[in-house]
Amino acid sequence: MRGRGGARGNRAPSAPWSRLKPVDLDPLESMGLPSKGDSRLLDFKTQERYYTKIVERYMTFCSDAGERDELLRRFASLDISSNSNAGLPAKSFSGTPPLDPNTPSMAPATIPSNTKGLSDVLAALRKLREGIVASKRADDFAIQVYLFCIRLSVLVKHPESYHPAILHLLRRIQPLHTMTSVEKSEVVGYLILDTACRRNNLAEAFAIRYKYRLRDAKVDGVLDALAHDNYIEFNRLKKRVDGHKAKLLEYAEEGMRKHLLKCFGRTYLSVDLNFLEICADSKWANLTAEDGVGWELDGEKVVIRKVKAR
């Protein structure tokens, strides 16, 4: 005779959860932010395993893109301008993009499906950086993580990720565990260009260059071009620097080009169309649509001002 709650025959009672499918947890999303109480990333070994998964996901994202142009398009399709609360990056490269951001050379409101992998990587890097900061880690691994984060965030133009990472690397990690001279010059160069181009603070950019004794002819040339509002030289240097620095120069590009157009407006009555397009590094259609140029096009001549008859 079976007692209440007993099993029929020799069968064990079925577990109440046995019919549920096991939950598929994303290894990057399974970790929480240390600032929100998740302490798993305070362990050094856990940090290293998590970083390996981040790199694997990034390489998968790059291999899925396949062709260079498609990879560029996916980088550019992230939009940083909104959703700052999510802690994820977003927005729009010149030169061939490195598949590995560790080779020196975006928080989206709506994440396109083909860029979600990159958004997940950026969110995971934030968690890992928090774990490194909270555990006060300063060694080769910490430098490697921060360099990876800075390079990737620069490529997707997400200053909320790369700017604090640069400051922590230079102010907290570097005094305790020295970077190589090449790595230090690279990071300082990013900080100088970000200060001059995005934050539009040339005085501070020159001060940073003096503080860290940076010797980089291309960075010096960019600062000189910005100080003299020389868009021709600025644009020439933008094509010569590596892809990471070129992304930082994009912050100042629009303002420099508009200053050039104002100089044309104050200096010339008319110019050849080809000359204008070469100087502005932009086609006539883009100048009128994006830069608000209201001059008249007369064949191959651009009429800037008409002389009023007396």
Task: Give the per-residue pLDDT at 109.
Answer: 33
- 């993009």: which residue's tokens? 97
Task: Give the per-residue pLDDT at 307.
Answer: 79
Given CA atoms 285, 287, 290, 296 in this order, what sign does their dihedral have? Answer: negative
- 């989206």: which residue's tokens? 108
Task: Give the per-residue pLDDT at 105.
Answer: 44
Helix%, strand%, coil% for the chain, nearest 5:
60, 5, 40
Both tokens of 198, joined, read 């995005």
Look at the pTM and tell me if it is higher than 0.75: yes
Gap between the Cα atoms of 176 and 101, Å rounded: 24
- On whether the CB atoms of residues 273 and 297 are closer than 8 A, the answer is yes
- 């990071």: which residue's tokens? 187
Per-residue pLDDT of the chain (310 residues; tens, 9 = 90+): 455 554 455 555 555 555 656 566 778 888 899 999 989 999 999 999 999 999 998 888 877 766 666 655 656 655 443 333 334 433 333 333 344 455 444 333 333 445 677 888 999 999 999 999 999 999 999 999 999 999 999 999 999 999 999 999 999 999 999 999 999 999 999 999 999 999 999 999 999 999 999 999 999 999 999 999 999 999 999 999 999 999 999 999 999 999 999 999 999 999 999 999 999 999 999 999 988 898 999 899 999 988 776 6
**125-152: burial string, b at 16+ Cβ within 10 Å, e else:** bbbbbbbbbebebbeeebbebbbbbbbb
3-state secondary structure of 106: coil
